[in-house]
Amino acid sequence: MPVIRFVREGQDVECYPGENLREVALREGIELYGLKGKLGNCGGCGQCITCFVEVVGESSPSSLSPRTGVEERKLERRPEGWRLACQALVQQSVLVLTRPQVGLADAEALLAAASQAPLPAGPTAWPVVETAPDEEEAGDGEADLQGPA
């Protein structure tokens, strides 16, 4: 399972591949929003642009799903690593800085510390197709190799 390492909060959270980053953060009590977002956010529709996060460290660019069309428009003038949490699906383990627009004391030290402990890679591809144990044990497999009669 992928791990989201929330650098600002110093917290690792496991999630299922394909889970929405905003939903995972809110479920785990991570504060995604600044004052404006707390007072009124769009609930995850990609309209209020208050759920900024930044993908940091050695995270793979494919750790999150590609930017959506909404993000391309809304994040036009923002740094490349910024995402809207409500639009991002977690594909692999990732280091994330919430509220990147807000200063962070000792940012470099925190990031260095967060990057030291290795993250589990998570699945290599998404969606993950797993074989049910019943399918592996069924029959001796010869029928599958022979093809249709």
Asked if 88 touches ligand FES (CB under 6 A), the answer is no
Residue 101 contacts residue 12 (beta carbons within 8 Å): no
Q: Bridge partners of 83?
A: 53
Asked if 56 touches ligand FES (CB under 6 A), the answer is no
Asked if 24 touches ligand FES (CB under 6 A), the answer is no
Which listed residue (3, 9, 17, 42) binds ligand FES by CB under 6 A? 42
Least separation in angstroms between residue 1's CB and ligand FES is: 24
Tokens, residue 53: 């996060």
| DSSP conformational letter for 90 | B
Least separation in angstroms between residue 127's CB and ligand FES is: 23
Asked if 48 touches ligand FES (CB under 6 A), the answer is yes
Residue 143: how many CA atoms within 13 Å on its side-chain side? 5
Which listed residue (4, 51, 53, 96) binds ligand FES by CB under 6 A? 51
Asked if 93 touches ligand FES (CB under 6 A), the answer is no
Tokens, residue 114: 């967060």
- C-alpha angle with apex 10: 75 to 50, nearest 5 degrees? 25
What residue ranges bind ligand FES (CB under 6 A)? 41-42, 44-51, 84, 86
